[in-house]
């Protein structure tokens, strides 16, 4: 029966594969035909357009005769006389810019006169013969597709004057209105710097767009005379499909393009018919398979009697399995504490270490022994000792994560395997929490309050061993080292890590004093607007000027502050310091910009946060609009409603809110639209390889589009190269910050940047 369903599935797969392949082939053929047709149209228009511009040389020779004294030549310099509708106006200027002839019989030429004057001012009076010069439309003209052209007139190597004319490209394009390019089809005449001289879109004529910075006209940077074009046009969501063709001898190109979706739109009814036949065929396969299933079901009824007897046998087997499982439970778990025993720990730990070979994180084995446990047994009795062991196991289980391994090896010895820990400091933090948990008094153990401390030895995989036995041996050795160091402590098997742990303890002991003694300082990094590269704001980054260890960065102490409830006083100091610095800059006459500070999840829950902010602003006379808060997605996970309430109150004060490190957390769209945000900051991990990783580029583009649709500004972090900068500007990003413009620096250095006001793109 299963085979019939497999065959039906394979047949359906073949039908749909053929159908989809046929649809895609027809779409490809439609694209190729459209490109070929556009190429023919572009060739015809380019040839006609070249002929129009070529007539300028004929008019120029007549103008030269006029300047040489042949007054009758003026009769042939009137487009109406010659029936040349492409030329709206023809004028001849002498070598000093004086108007010698105007086909419009005007005393001055307000459109051509300034263009000729600018040309004469920028060029020498003598020189070799030059090609036809095509300029941009004059701003005062009534139609943007009226293009001025100039041709210098020489005689014997000396310039006599300048031929000037206005060519109506709109008239030229109107002659091609009957060309059927389908919905969204366009014929464009482009200057080689990307400026659009004229465009025909159906019956609509337009011009004047500067597309020089877009992918749409990247062909202008190449040397090919013609080629295929497939790119998005600025301001449009879809892609354009077409061709370009340059004019030989003139700095112009003809672009004929169509809407890529419109090209295949006419095939939609035919493709729907293909899909309809595929659906009908699939249903036939399904009905045939169901028929076979009915036949198989009848066969199944013949064997039902045998199945009933088998059920009885299976019941007996399940009962035996249950007994076996209960026996295994008794054999693999400690009878006193209920946690795993040595045998089960060895088995599970070996399997966990096998998976650890594919991980880049640490796996840590903790060997824990209770200090003076024998004395408790001897003085208070074994019943109290047993209760103590049970309580210790419960506390260890509550301190560890659900998937960490915990076992009792025997007596007062416990062992734990903690997996996927990012750093050695995190391992030390776990050990400190275990020590803290066990050192808390155990109350009312058979009427006794008991205090006990643990000695913990730590071995790391794979540094200290690659199998369970070796790690246990080294952790046991480290545990005895901890006992020698004193009660209630821990030690690593690798002595160098004990020094790191000691440094963490040293920093922790000095932390509150460091806040009080102003050992912390702020460095600032500029946020740069991508429109004109001016300084749009600053981000304040905290540093610790330690008297012994020098300048410490956030990675050295922020985790420590988070783990020991010191992040709130540190965050309050940062707010105060940022407001104080803004006031000092203002007193020094430095132009100030909004300063952003990072706010942690714990700080957002602090009841005094609003009071801290308002107090700092009032003390230093700073407007709330100069202070910005950056919150991470982790701030919103635990209690979204409370976070919303606090952020709304901050926004009411005038403080702007930005969502930091967007993309690496778990924000949903429903949360984003509820938050009182003004900006979203894209995490640097998506910017690092944006030019080479299509996934990162797609994420960045979709984030920018989503944020703009929600009315939010987008800031990209970690910009370190011009390639990243260009990609982000093209994608529509609003602001950037990173080492490309400026590394975080002290306030004195940043003051110079604020005075300058903007950066120059290298």
Helix (H, G, I), strand (E, B) or coil at 101: strand
What's residue 126's pLDDT? 45
DSSP type of residue 195: B
CATH fold, domain 518-756, is: TIM Barrel (3.20.20)
Rounded CA gap, 612 and 575, in Å? 8
What's residue 197's pLDDT? 82
DSSP type of residue 99: E
Question: 0.85 exceeded by the pTM?
Answer: no
Residue partners of 335: CB distance under 8 A and separation at least 6: none
Asked if residue 385 lies in contact with residue 452, where contact means CB atoms within 8 angstroms, the answer is: no
**CA terminus-to-terminus distance, the chain:** 70
Helix (H, G, I), strand (E, B) or coil at 574: helix
CA distances from 617 to 7, 567, 589, 621, 653 (A): 74, 21, 19, 6, 10
Determine phi and psi for 496, rounding to 5 degrees: -65, -30
Rounded CA gap, 462 and 500, in Å? 19
Pick the CATH number of 1-282 from 3.30.450.20, 3.40.50.720, 3.30.365.10, 3.30.70.2190: 3.30.450.20
For residue 38, what is the enclosing H or E element? helix 2-67
Helix (H, G, I), strand (E, B) or coil at 247: coil
For residue 409, what is the enclosing H or E element? strand 405-410
CATH fold, domain 333-493, is: Alpha-Beta Plaits (3.30.70)
Asked if residue 160 lies in contact with residue 68, where contact means CB atoms within 8 angstroms, the answer is: yes
DSSP type of residue 180: -
For residue 410, what is the enclosing H or E element? strand 405-410
DSSP type of residue 225: S
Three-state secondary structure readout of 495-525? HHHHHHHHHHHHHHHHHHHHHHCCCEEEEEE
What's residue 127's pLDDT? 44
Helical segments of 68-97, H only? 79-82
- Sign of torsion, CA 664 665 671 677? negative
CA distances from 33 to 36, 243, 253, 263, 610 (A): 5, 12, 21, 9, 66
DSSP 321-383: HHHHHHHHHHHHB-TTT-SB-HHHHHHHHHHHHHHHTT-SSEEEEEEEEETTHHHHHHHH-HH
Length of the chain: 762
Helix (H, G, I), strand (E, B) or coil at 151: strand
- What is the chain's Cα-based Rg? 40
What's residue 86's pLDDT? 78
- Sign of torsion, CA 387 393 394 399? positive
Query: Exposure of 738 by Cβ count < 10 A (0-12 exposed, 13-18 middle, 19+ buried)?
Result: buried
Q: Where do the domains of the chain lie? A: 1-282, 333-493, 518-756
Stretches where the chain sits below pLDDT 50 are: 125-128, 140, 499
What's residue 323's pLDDT? 58
Residue 734 has, within 13 A of its CA and on its CB side, a CA count of 17
Helical segments of 545-628, H only? 554-563, 567-587, 601-605, 609-620
What's residue 52's pLDDT? 83
């Amino acid at each position: 029966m299963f085979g019939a369903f497999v065959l039906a599935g394979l047949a359906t797969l073949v039908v749909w594969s053929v159908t989809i392949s046929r649809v895609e082939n027809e779409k490809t053929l439609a694209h190729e035909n459209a490109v070929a047709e556009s190429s023919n149209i572009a060739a015809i228009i380019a040839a006609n357009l070249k002929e129009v511009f070529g007539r300028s040389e004929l008019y120029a020779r007549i103008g030269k005769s006029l300047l040489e004294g042949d007054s009758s030549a003026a009769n042939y310099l009137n487009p109406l006389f010659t029936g040349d509708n492409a030329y709206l106006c023809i004028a001849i200027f002498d070598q000093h810019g004086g108007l010698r002839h105007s086909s419009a019989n005007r005393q001055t030429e307000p459109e051509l006169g300034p263009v000729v004057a600018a040309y004469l001012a920028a060029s020498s009076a003598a020189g070799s013969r030059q090609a036809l010069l095509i300029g941009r439309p004059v701003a005062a003209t009534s139609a943007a597709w009226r293009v001025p052209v100039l041709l210098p007139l020489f005689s014997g190597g000396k310039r006599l004057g300048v031929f000037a004319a206005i060519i109506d490209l709109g008239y030229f394009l109107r002659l091609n209105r009957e060309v059927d390019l389908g919905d969204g089809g366009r014929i464009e005449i482009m200057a080689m710097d990307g400026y659009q001289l004229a465009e025909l879109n159906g019956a609509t004529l337009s011009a004047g767009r500067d597309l020089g910075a877009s992918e749409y006209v990247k062909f202008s940077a190449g040397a090919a005379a013609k080629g295929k074009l497939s790119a998005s046009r600025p301001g449009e969501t879809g892609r354009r499909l077409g061709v370009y063709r340059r004019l030989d001898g003139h700095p112009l190109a003809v672009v004929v393009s169509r809407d890529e979706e419109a090209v295949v739109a006419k095939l939609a009814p035919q493709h729907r018919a293909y899909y309809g036949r595929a659906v009908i065929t699939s249903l036939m396969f399904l009905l045939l398979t169901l028929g076979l299933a009915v036949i198989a079901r009848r066969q199944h009824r013949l064997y039902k009697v045998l199945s009933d007897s088998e059920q009885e046998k299976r019941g007996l087997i399940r009962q035996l399995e249950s007994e076996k499982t209960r026996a295994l439970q008794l054999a693999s778990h400690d009878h006193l504490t209920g946690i795993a025993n040595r045998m089960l720990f060895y088995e599970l730990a070996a399997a966990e270490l096998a998976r650890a070979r594919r991980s880049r994180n640490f796996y840590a084995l903790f060997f824990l022994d209770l200090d003076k446990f024998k004395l408790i047994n001897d003085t208070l009795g074994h019943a109290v000792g047993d209760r103590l062991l049970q309580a210790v196991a419960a506390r260890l289980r509550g301190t560890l994560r659900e998937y960490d391994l915990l076992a009792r090896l025997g007596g007062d010895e416990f062992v734990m395997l903690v997996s996927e820990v990012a750093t050695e400091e995190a391992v030390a933090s776990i050990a400190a929490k275990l020590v803290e948990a066990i050192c808390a008094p155990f109350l009312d153990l058979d009427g006794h309050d008991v205090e006990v401390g643990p000695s913990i030895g730590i071995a790391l995989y794979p540094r200290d061993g690659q199998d369970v036995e070796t790690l246990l041996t080294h952790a046991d050795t480290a545990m005895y080292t901890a006992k020698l160091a004193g009660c209630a402590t821990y030690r690593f098997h690798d002595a160098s890590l004990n020094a790191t742990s000691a440094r963490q303890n040293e920093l922790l002991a000095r932390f509150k004093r460091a806040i009080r003694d102003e050992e912390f300082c702020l460095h600032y990094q500029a946020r740069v607007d991508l429109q004109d590269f001016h300084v749009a704001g600053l981000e304040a980054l905290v540093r610790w000027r330690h008297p012994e260890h020098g300048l410490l960065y956030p990675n050295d102490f922020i985790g420590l502050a988070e783990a020991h409830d010191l992040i709130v006083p540190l965050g309050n100091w940062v707010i105060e310091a940022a407001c104080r610095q803004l006031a000092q800059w203002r007193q020094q006459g430095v132009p100030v910009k909004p300063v952003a500070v990072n706010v942690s999840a714990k700080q957002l829950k602090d009841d005094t946060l609003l009071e801290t902010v308002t107090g700092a602003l009032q003390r230093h006379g700073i407007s709330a609009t100069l202070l910005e808060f950056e919150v991470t997605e982790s701030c919103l996970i635990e209690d979204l409603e409370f976070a919303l309430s606090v952020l709304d109150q901050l926004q009411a004060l005038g403080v702007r809110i930005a969502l930091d490190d967007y993309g690496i957390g778990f924000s949903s769209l429903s949360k984003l639209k509820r938050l009182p945000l003004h900006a979203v900051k894209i995490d640097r991990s998506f910017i690092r390889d944006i030019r080479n990783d299509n996934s990162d580029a797609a994420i960045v583009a979709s984030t920018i589009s989503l944020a703009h649709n929600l009315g939010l500004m987008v800031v990209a972090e970690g910009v370190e190269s011009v390639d990243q900068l260009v990609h982000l500007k093209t994608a529509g990003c609003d602001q950037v910050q990173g080492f490309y413009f400026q590394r975080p620096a002290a306030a004195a250095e940043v003051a110079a940047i604020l005075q300058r006001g903007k950066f120059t793109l290298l």
